[in-house]
């Protein structure tokens, strides 16, 4: 049995919208073992992205605790969370979110600027990451010179370059055609199986969810397990 | 330094906008360098004034002369190391536009009073031996192409000779220089004795006295004592420090410092608005990117530093270019205008001040957008995008 990488206990998240309080997550409990690949599905507004934000230390719960590895995220300060994110978690967004002024290589190198690695070491690691996603030959291209699929590969390289244990993907194939989406999902599967990355992926796409080891359905702030077909 | 590439790339994100902003910074600092150099010339000797030198002039004005008999009485005053005198000759060389300072002095006492002037012993001795001899500063010798041995006719505008002649001829016996780059050497010195002997009027009078206070003596007290000596006499005195004397001389042209400050104030205020607007737009356009940086682990202070650095880099590019061109122009103008405004000089202090101003203006222009970027909430910013 794998060790638990992330554990959410009694997590609630309430937002204030005008005078009204909206509870997005309600008393949620979740365990994610190390090496898991879990897909979270559910309708819009069901709390999927909020759950991802809590796991990534981008948001804090109103109640309950979020543990990732040894870190209790709910009690950490903003600066502690920044440091923690740079070392332990990689993010993959629906719209890639690459910096348009930097080449693919420099985009991938960005998280390494927060480390003490030398410029040479940073270059080496960024090259390896680009090689893993199959884009070594596009290192000097700017995002505008890449296709959507290639941009998402660069984003994946950026997410894995600092070797985090956890990858959080928010609709990673939402902006891609079916074939390209399958390529990206295949790549995530490789990262999970061969590189041991724990992946939590939010998606609307049932076909995408099938690449995961397990599927959770999120609705009205609660989670429910579903069988992967 | 590892963030420099990111900062540099962000600066040039909108090339035309950044270029226009840099152009406005460039113009502001070009103006700054020119006005500083001119202000320096107008301030004249203020910056090179010696705190231990006092100047004694007629209480009414610098134009009124003082009796030579005051010399010994001033020298006998407590707290004074030694005294000398000088007089404004007010002549020109060949054409009225070739005006510069000529001063009849006591050579030994004058050079002892101004140790910053360097002249070779041979030339100085030759000067002392020749009653119609003169020495000039290197700046003046360069301007007119004079060399030792030249005979220099000076047309007097004030002092006519006993024979009615207004042309005074001098033998150039030496050329002096100064180690202080701020000091002007566009002057000519000759024997007071020659003036005294040959002038048609005002014999036994000098323009002003220069005195050095003894080390440890209070210059203010010494000045009061000197003025008290001649109180209620036909020629009362006004004694001030060399700096105050130079300042009062400069004020004849109006308050140059205030004019310069007002012009620069207006220019820099506009500059702050232009560059502040550039930085605000730049941050507004990339809220999403800043949120991504924060998501990757860039801390609030790092993001603040990156945005502020962008603003400072823009100021430094435009500012250093403006300062550089200003420096080149000042070199040219200093030579061209040495005739009527000597001492145009872009001082190291002004250059350092300009660099400080660039950094300060960069911080001011960038601080609000930078704080906005720092306070950005990742979730809100990503949701907005």
Please indicate whether, in this complex, the C-beta atoms of A101 and B9 are within 8 angstroms of each other. yes
CA angle A86, A91, A93 (to 5 degrees): 150
pLDDT digits (tens, 9 = 90+) for B3-62: 999 999 999 999 999 999 999 999 999 999 998 888 777 765 555 456 678 999 999 888
Q: Where are the domains of chain B?
A: 4-45+254-384, 48-253
All residues of chain A having their beta carbon less than 8 Å from the beta carbon of residue B3 are 113
**DSSP classification of residue A3:** P
CA distance A76 to A69: 14
Q: How confident is the model at residue B251 (pLDDT cuts 50, 70, 90)?
A: low
CATH superfamily of A4-226: P-loop containing nucleotide triphosphate hydrolases (3.40.50.300)
Place of tokens 């990111």: B6
CA distance B289 to A143: 13
- Is B3 an interface residue toward A (CB < 8 Å)? yes
pLDDT of residue A144: 95
Closest chain B C-alpha to A85 CA, distance in angstroms: 5
Q: How confident is the model at residue B97 (pLDDT cuts 50, 70, 90)?
A: confident
Instruction: Say which residues have a Cβ less than 8 Å from residue B71's Cβ, sequence separation at least 6.
Output: B83, B85, B206, B209
All residues of chain B having their beta carbon less than 8 Å from the beta carbon of residue A163 are none
Q: How confident is the model at residue A226 (pLDDT cuts 50, 70, 90)?
A: low
pLDDT digits (tens, 9 = 90+) for B271-292: 899 999 999 999 999 999 999 9
pLDDT of residue B183: 66
> Does the pLDDT value for residue B333 go beyond 90?
no
Closest chain B C-alpha to A229 CA, distance in angstroms: 32
Q: Determine the residue of chain A that is closest to B290 in CA distance.
A: A99
- Whether residue B83 contacts residue B71, with contact meaning beta carbons closer than 8 Å, is answered with yes
All residues of chain A having their beta carbon less than 8 Å from the beta carbon of residue B299 are 78-79, 82-83
- Is B5 an interface residue toward A (CB < 8 Å)? yes
Q: How confident is the model at residue A228 (pLDDT cuts 50, 70, 90)?
A: low
Instruction: Say which residues have a Cβ less than 8 Å from residue A165's Cβ, sequence separation at least 6.
Output: A5, A34, A69, A88, A89, A196, A197, A198
In the three-class reduction of DSSP (H, G, I as helix; E, B as strand; rest coil), residue B136 is classed as strand
> Does the pLDDT value for residue B377 go beyond 60?
yes
Query: pTM of the predicted model, to two decimals?
Result: 0.71
Write out the two tokens for A95: 């719209």
On the CB side of B153, how many CA atoms lie within 13 Å of its CA? Answer: 7
Of B3, B13, B385, the CB nearest to A113: B3
Closest chain B C-alpha to A227 CA, distance in angstroms: 31
Closest chain A C-alpha to B8 CA, distance in angstroms: 10
List residues of chain A with CB under 8 Å from any CB of chain B: 53, 56, 58-59, 78-79, 82-87, 91, 93, 95, 97, 99, 101-102, 106, 110-111, 113-114, 119, 158
**DSSP classification of residue A165:** S
B22 or B180: which leads in pLDDT: B22
pLDDT of residue B364: 95
Q: Where are the domains of chain A?
A: 4-226
Cα Rg of chain A, angstroms: 17
Place of tokens 């244990």: A165
pLDDT of residue B380: 86
Comparing C-alpha atoms, which of B253, B338, B242, B257 is closest to residue B45? B242
CA distance B294 to A110: 11
Of B5, B289, B297, the CB nearest to A85: B297
Of B3, B5, B298, the CB nearest to A82: B298
Q: Determine the residue of chain A that is closest to B13 in CA distance.
A: A101
- Average pLDDT across chain A, whole number: 92
Task: Report the pLDDT averaged over residues B190-211.
Answer: 94
- Is B16 an interface residue toward A (CB < 8 Å)? no
- Is B15 an interface residue toward A (CB < 8 Å)? no
Task: Report the pLDDT averaged over residues B279-306.
Answer: 94
> Does the pLDDT value for residue A39 go beyond 60?
yes
Please indicate whether, in this complex, the C-beta atoms of A114 and B379 are within 8 angstroms of each other. no
Percent of chain A beyond pLDDT 90? 79
Q: What is the ipTM of this complex?
A: 0.92
Place of tokens 């231990």: B52
All residues of chain A having their beta carbon less than 8 Å from the beta carbon of residue B292 are 93, 97, 99
- Average pLDDT across chain B, whole number: 89
CA distance A52 to A37: 13
Q: Supply φ then ψ for residue B117, to 5 degrees.
A: -85, 125
CA distance B83 to B126: 23
CA distance A32 to B101: 90
- Whether residue B368 contacts residue B281, with contact meaning beta carbons closer than 8 Å, is answered with no
Comparing C-alpha atoms, which of B83, B125, B133, B75 is closest to residue B104? B133
On the CB side of B298, how many CA atoms lie within 13 Å of its CA? Answer: 26
> Pairing mode, if any, of strands A37-41 and A198-202?
parallel
> Does the pLDDT value for residue B338 go beyond 70?
no
Q: How many Cβ pairs within 8 Å bridge chains A and B?
A: 62
Classify residue B332 as exposed, middle or buried by CB count within 10 Å of its CB (0-12, 13-18, 19+): exposed
All residues of chain A having their beta carbon less than 8 Å from the beta carbon of residue B289 are 97, 99
Place of tokens 């872009």: B346
pLDDT of residue A1: 46
Among the ranges given (B177-191, B229-243, B353-367, B370-384), the one the predictor scored with the smallest mean pLDDT: B177-191
Q: Determine the residue of chain A that is closest to B296 in CA distance.
A: A86
CA distance B33 to B327: 7
> Pairing mode, if any, of strands B167-178 and B133-137?
parallel
pLDDT digits (tens, 9 = 90+) for A79-128: 999 999 999 999 999 889 999 999 999 999 999 999 999 999 999 999 99
pLDDT of residue B143: 86
């Amino acid at each position: 049995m794998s060790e638990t990488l992330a554990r959410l206990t009694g997590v609630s998240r309430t937002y204030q919208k005008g005078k009204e309080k909206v509870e997005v997550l309600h008393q949620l409990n979740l365990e994610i073992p190390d090496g898991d690949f879990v897909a979270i599905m559910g309708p819009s507004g069901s709390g999927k992205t909020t759950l991802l934000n809590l796991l990534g230390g981008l948001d804090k719960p109103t109640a309950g605790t979020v543990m990732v590895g040894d870190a209790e995220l709910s009690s950490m300060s903003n600066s502690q969370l920044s440091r923690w994110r740079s070392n332990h978690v990689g993010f993959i967004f629906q719209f890639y979110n690459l910096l348009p002024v930097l080449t693919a290589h420099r985009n991938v190198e960005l998280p390494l600027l927060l480390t003490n690695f030398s410029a040479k070491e940073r270059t080496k690691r960024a090259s390896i990451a680009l090689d893993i996603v199959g884009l070594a030959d596009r290192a000097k291209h700017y995002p505008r010179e890449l296709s959507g699929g290639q941009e998402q590969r660069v984003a994946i390289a950026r997410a894995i370059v600092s070797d985090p244990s956890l990858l959080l993907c928010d609709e990673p194939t939402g902006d891609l055609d079916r074939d390209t989406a399958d390529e990206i999902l295949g790549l995530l599967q490789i990262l999970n199986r061969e590189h041991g990355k724990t992946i939590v992926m939010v998606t609307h796409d049932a076909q995408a969810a099938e690449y995961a080891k397990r599927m959770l359905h999120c609705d009205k702030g609660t989670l429910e397990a579903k069988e992967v077909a | 330094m590892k963030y420099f590439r990111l900062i540099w790339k962000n600066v040039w994100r909108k090339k035309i906008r950044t270029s226009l902003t840099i152009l406005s910074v460039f113009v502001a600092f070009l103006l700054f360098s020119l006005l500083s150099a001119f202000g320096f010339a107008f301030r004249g000797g203020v910056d090179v004034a010696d705190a231990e030198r006092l100047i004694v002039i007629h209480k009414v004005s610098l134009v009124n002369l003082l009796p030579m008999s005051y010399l010994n009485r001033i020298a006998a005053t407590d707290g004074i190391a030694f005294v000398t005198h000088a007089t404004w000759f007010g002549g020109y060389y060949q054409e009225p536009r070739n005006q510069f300072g000529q001063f009849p002095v006591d050579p030994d006492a004058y050079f002892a009073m101004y140790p910053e002037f360097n002249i070779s012993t041979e030339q100085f001795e030759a000067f002392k031996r020749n009653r119609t001899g003169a020495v000039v500063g290197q700046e003046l010798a360069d301007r007119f192409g004079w060399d030792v041995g030249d005979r220099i006719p000076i047309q007097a505008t004030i002092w006519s000779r006993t024979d009615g002649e207004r042309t005074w001829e001098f033998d150039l016996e030496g050329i002096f220089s100064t180690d202080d780059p701020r000091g002007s050497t566009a002057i000519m010195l000759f024997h007071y004795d020659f003036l005294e002997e040959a002038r048609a009027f005002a014999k036994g009078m000098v323009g002003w006295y220069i005195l050095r206070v003894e080390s440890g003596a209070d210059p203010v007290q010494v000045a009061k004592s000197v003025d008290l000596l001649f109180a209620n006499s036909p020629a009362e005195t006004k004694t001030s420090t060399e700096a105050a004397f130079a300042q009062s001389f400069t004020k004849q042209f109006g308050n140059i410092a205030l004019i310069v400050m007002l012009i620069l104030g207006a220019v820099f205020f506009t500059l702050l608005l232009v560059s502040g607007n550039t930085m605000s737009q730049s941050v507004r356009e990339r809220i999403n990117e800043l949120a991504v940086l924060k998501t990757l682990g860039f801390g609030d202070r790092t993001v603040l530093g990156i945005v502020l650095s962008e603003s400072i880099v823009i100021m430094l590019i435009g500012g250093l270019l403006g300062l550089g061109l200003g420096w080149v122009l000042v070199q040219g103008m200093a030579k061209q205008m040495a005739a009527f405004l000597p001492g145009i000089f872009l001082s190291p202090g002004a250059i350092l001040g300009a660099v400080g101003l660039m950094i300060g203006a960069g911080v001011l222009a960038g601080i609000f957008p930078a704080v906005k970027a720092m306070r950005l909430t990742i979730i809100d910013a990503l949701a907005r995008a």
